[in-house]
C-alpha cells in the first residue's frame, strides 16, 4: 500500500490538498474521482526510513477509542454508515488508520456488512469489538451499541492508563539507580578499592563483595550484556509456550501487594467485557469464549473456558468460579443472583464499578507508599557503599 500526496479542485472550484492511500497510482486516481475531485497533482510520498515512522503510525488503543466514540456520535446523528466512515477517514491523522477506514468504507459501500469488514482486520479490531458491532447490526440498534462500546473501551483505556502512569515513577527512579550503580561499580569503585587494597589488612566482607562485583562488571561487561540479552530472549520464548505463560501468569497473581491488584484488573476485564457482550445481544456461551481471550491471563482464561463448559452442560455460571481462589466469594454469589433473576448484565456492571473503584484506591495507596519504599532502597544502597568503601578508608586513614 502506497501513500500519495494530492492537490485537487472540488466541485465548487476550491483547491484542496491531502493524502490518499492506495495500492497504485491508478487506484489513487479512482479514489479521488469517486470523491468528485479534479486532480491537479498526484505525487507518491516517500516513506521515511527507519522504524520511528512505523512506531508513530502504529494504531494504538486510544485511536480505537476515539474512532468508536466519533463513529457512535455520527451514527446517532443519523449520518449514513458509509458517509460516517468517510468523514472519520478524512479527520484521522494516522495514514495507516486512514487507509484502513477508507477500505472498510469501500467494502461496506460495495454491500459488505460492517462487522465482516472489521473482522478482516483482527490486528486492529478484536473479536470482542467485532461481535459487539455484529450484535448491533442484528438488533438494528447499531448506534446504541456503538455508544455503549465506546463507553466501555474508554473505561478500559482509562484503567490501563492509570496503571501505566502509576508504574512510570518507580520504574524511572529504579532504572536511574541501576545505571548510576553500574557506572559507580565500573569507573569509581575500582579506584577507591585499589587504595584500600594497597593499605593491607583484612577487608570486611561487604568490601570484598563490592570489589568482586566491580571487578566482574569491569572485566566481563560483555558477558553481562550477553546474559541480559539471553535472559530477555529466553523469557519471551518461555512466555510463548502455553505452559510457560501459565507459570508466569500464576506467579503474577501470587505477587505480594501487586498480585491482588492484578486479580482485580483481570476480574474487571472479565465482568466488563462479558457485560458489554450480553447487553449487545451476544449469547452467554459465545460471550464467555470471547471474554476468555480478552482477559489476557491464562489462569483466568482456563477458568472462563471451564465456566463455559459448565454452562453448556446446563450448570450454573458460578459452578467453576465458586472453587477458584482467584474469584472472590462476593463475585460468584452476585453472579449467581444475577443469573437467577435474569439481570446478569446489571450485576456484572455493578461488580465492574465496584472493583474499578478498588483498583483506583489501590493505585492511589501504592503511589503513596512508593516514595518511602524508594527512599529505603536508596538508603540501603548508600549505606552498603559507605560500609564497604568509606569505613575501610576511614580506618586506613586513622592508622597514620
pLDDT at 295: 85
92 in Cβ contact with 67 (< 8 Å): yes
What is the pLDDT confidence band of residue 396, given thresholds at 50, 70 and 90? low
pLDDT for the residue numbered 267 = 92
Confidence check: pLDDT of 59 > 70: yes
Give the domain ranges of the chain.
Answer: 2-46, 59-154
The three cell numbers locating residue 152: 466501555
Mean pLDDT on 306-317: 90
Global pTM? 0.70
Indicate the length of the chain as a whole number. Answer: 400
Q: Do β-strands 2-9 and 38-44 pair in parallel, antiparallel, or remain unpaired?
A: antiparallel
The band of 1, judged by pLDDT with boundaries at 50, 70 and 90, is low
Helices within 184-256 (DSSP H only): 189-198, 205-219, 221-240, 242-254
For position 46, what pLDDT does the model report? 56
Contact residues for 215 (Cβ-Cβ < 8 A; gap 6+): 190
DSSP string, 314-354: T--TTTTGGG-TTS-HHHHHHHHHHHHHT-HHHHHHHHHHH
Q: Note the pLDDT tens digit of each residue in 68-88.
A: 888 888 888 888 888 999 899
Write the pLDDT tens digit of every residue in 380-389: 877 877 777 7
Classify domain 2-46 at the CATH class level.
Answer: alpha beta
pLDDT recorded at residue 334:
92
Is residue 242 very low, low, confident or very high in pLDDT (cuts 50, 70, 90)?
Answer: confident
**pLDDT of residue 241 exceeding 50:** yes
The residue ranking higher by pLDDT, 261 or 139, is 261
The dihedral of CA 262, 266, 269, 272: what is its sign? negative
Calculate mean pLDDT across residues 314-331: 88
- pLDDT tens digits along 27-51: 778 778 877 788 888 887 654 444 4
Which pairs count as long-range contacts for 367-370, CB under 8 Å and 24+ apart, including other chains?
A: 367/166, 367/169, 370/169, 370/170
For 172-184, what is each residue's pLDDT tens digit?
888 888 888 888 7
pLDDT in tens, 119-134: 888 888 888 888 888 8
Q: Identify the pLDDT of residue 54.
A: 46
Mean pLDDT of all residues belonging to the chain: 82
Domain made up of 59-154: CATH architecture: Up-down Bundle (1.20)
For residues 248 and 234, the answer to whether their CB atoms sit within 8 Å is no
List 4's β-bridge partners, or say none: 20, 44
Where residue 398 falls among pLDDT bands split at 50, 70, 90?
low
pLDDT band at 207 (very low <50, low <70, confident <90, very high): confident
Question: Could you give the CA distance from residue 380 to residue 386 in angstroms, rounded to a whole number?
Answer: 10
Is residue 220 predicted with pLDDT exceeding 70?
Answer: yes
C-alpha cell recorded at residue 31: 479514489
More confident residue, 82 or 391: 82
379 pLDDT band, cuts 50/70/90, is confident
* Over residues 54-76, mean pLDDT: 80
pLDDT for the residue 98 = 86
Q: Are 140 and 63 in contact (CB under 8 A)?
A: no
Lowest mean pLDDT: which of 8-22, 231-245, 326-340?
Answer: 8-22
pLDDT confidence tier of residue 372, bands split at 50, 70 and 90: confident
pLDDT band for position 200 (cuts 50, 70, 90): low
Amino acid at each position: 500500500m502506497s501513500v500519495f500526496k494530492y492537490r485537487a479542485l472540488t466541485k465548487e472550484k476550491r483547491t484542496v490538498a491531502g493524502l490518499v492511500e492506495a495500492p497504485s497510482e491508478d487506484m489513487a486516481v479512482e479514489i479521488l474521482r469517486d470523491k468528485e475531485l479534479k486532480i491537479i497533482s498526484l505525487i507518491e510520498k516517500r516513506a521515511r526510513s527507519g522504524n520511528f515512522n512505523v512506531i508513530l503510525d502504529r494504531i494504538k488503543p486510544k485511536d480505537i477509542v476515539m474512532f468508536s466514540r466519533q463513529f457512535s456520535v455520527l451514527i446517532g446523528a443519523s449520518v449514513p454508515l458509509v458517509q460516517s466512515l468517510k468523514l472519520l477517514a478524512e479527520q484521522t491523522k494516522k495514514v495507516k488508520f486512514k487507509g484502513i477506514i477508507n477500505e472498510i468504507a469501500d467494502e461496506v459501500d460495495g454491500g459488505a456488512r460492517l462487522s465482516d469488514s472489521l473482522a478482516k482486520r483482527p490486528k486492529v479490531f478484536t473479536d470482542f469489538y467485532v461481535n459487539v458491532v455484529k450484535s448491533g447490526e442484528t438488533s438494528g440498534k447499531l448506534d446504541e451499541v456503538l455508544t455503549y462500546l465506546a463507553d466501555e473501551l474508554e473505561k478500559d483505556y482509562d484503567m490501563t492508563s492509570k496503571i501505566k502512569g502509576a508504574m512510570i515513577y518507580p520504574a524511572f527512579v529504579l532504572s536511574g539507580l541501576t545505571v548510576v550503580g553500574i557506572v559507580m561499580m565500573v569507573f569509581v569503585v575500582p579506584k577507591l578499592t585499589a587504595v584500600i587494597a594497597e593499605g593491607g589488612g583484612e577487608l570486611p566482607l561487604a568490601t570484598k563483595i563490592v570489589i568482586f562485583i566491580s571487578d566482574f562488571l569491569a572485566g566481563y561487561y560483555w558477558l553481562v550484556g550477553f546474559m541480559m540479552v539471553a535472559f530477555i530472549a529466553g523469557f519471551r520464548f518461555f512466555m510463548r509456550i502455553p505452559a510457560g505463560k501459565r507459570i508466569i501468569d500464576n506467579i503474577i497473581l501470587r505477587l505480594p501487594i501487586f498480585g491482588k491488584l492484578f486479580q482485580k484488573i483481570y476480574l474487571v476485564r472479565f465482568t466488563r467485557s462479558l457485560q458489554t457482550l450480553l447487553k449487545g445481544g451476544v449469547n452467554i456461551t459465545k460471550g464467555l469464549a470471547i471474554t476468555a481471550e480478552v482477559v489476557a491471563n491464562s489462569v483466568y482464561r482456563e477458568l472462563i473456558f471451564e465456566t463455559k463448559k459448565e454452562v453448556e452442560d446446563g450448570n450454573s455460571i458460578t459452578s467453576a468460579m465458586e472453587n477458584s481462589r482467584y474469584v472472590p466469594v462476593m463475585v460468584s454469589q452476585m453472579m449467581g443472583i444475577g443469573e437467577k433473576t435474569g439481570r446478569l448484565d446489571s450485576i456484572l456492571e455493578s461488580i465492574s464499578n465496584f472493583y474499578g473503584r478498588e483498583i483506583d484506591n489501590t493505585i492511589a495507596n501504592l503511589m503513596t507508599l512508593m516514595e518511602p519504599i524508594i527512599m529505603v532502597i536508596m538508603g540501603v544502597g548508600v549505606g552498603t557503599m559507605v560500609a564497604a568503601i568509606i569505613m575501610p578508608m576511614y580506618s586506613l586513614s586513622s592508622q597514620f
